[in-house]
Amino acid sequence: MKLRGVAYIFFAGALVLAGLGLGIVRAPLSQAPASASSTPARQFNPADATTTPGYYSVVRVIDGDTLVIWKDGDEITVRLIGIDTPEVVDPRKPVECFGPEASAEGKKLLTGQDVRAVPDPSQDQYDKYGRMLAYIYLPSGLFYNEFMIAPGFAHEYTYGKAYEFQKE
């Protein structure tokens, strides 16, 4: 019985540390872009899409683990590899605890950005819903997938098979 209590305390402590984001990930929290201003998000205009090779303009952020990019003249929905954020948009499910905060953080970091969407050769190119599977990097080099885990906006998520950065 004592061992079970110790395990619960250890687990709770780990959650607190993850929620505080105490430098657990490779990319320090200080690399996060400055907070977006309080001005409303700009509407995406395809004429403004990046022409930088390897980068794609973010059309919109659906939630903390899904976004839409402009790729080759089309809107492509991207599901991020290795993370899962609390649900906020699935009409079949209630909004989950901390979901609005995770979604807001994703919007703050990605809205108006040009990002690199990098596939993982160990994964399928698309998931069962037709979403492109990728890692997202901001122009600053920030690895968005990993960054979202440190402060607790997302948790590690493996769907089916191990992925490239799973052990990090």
What proportions of the chain, in percent to the nearest 5, are helix, strand and coil? 25, 25, 55
Q: Residue 120 CB: number of other CB atoms within 10 A?
A: 18
**Please, are residues 117 and 143 in contact by the beta-carbon 8 Å criterion?**
no
State the catalytic residue, choosing from 87, 105, 116, 146.
Answer: 87
**Cα separation, 48 vs 95, whole angstroms:** 33
> Is 87 assigned a catalytic role?
yes
Ordered per-residue pLDDT tens for the chain, 168 residues:
454 444 444 444 444 334 434 333 333 333 444 444 344 456 777 777 777 788 999 999 999 999 999 999 999 999 999 999 999 888 899 998 988 999 999 999 999 999 999 999 988 999 999 999 999 999 999 999 999 999 999 988 787 766 677 665
The residue among 135, 119, 129 whose CA lies nearest residue 83 is 135
**Looking at 4, 26, 116, 131, which residue is catalytic?**
131
- Which of 26, 60, 75, 79 is flagged as catalytic? 79
Task: Kindly report whether the global pTM for this prediction surpasses the value 0.95.
Answer: no
Q: Is 79 an active-site residue?
A: yes
Per the annotation, the verdict on 146 as an active-site residue is no
Backbone angles phi, psi at 162, to 5 degrees: -60, 150
Rounded to whole angstroms, the Cα distance separating 30 from 72 reads: 33
**Geometric angle at alpha carbon 147, from 28 and 29, rounded to 5°:** 30
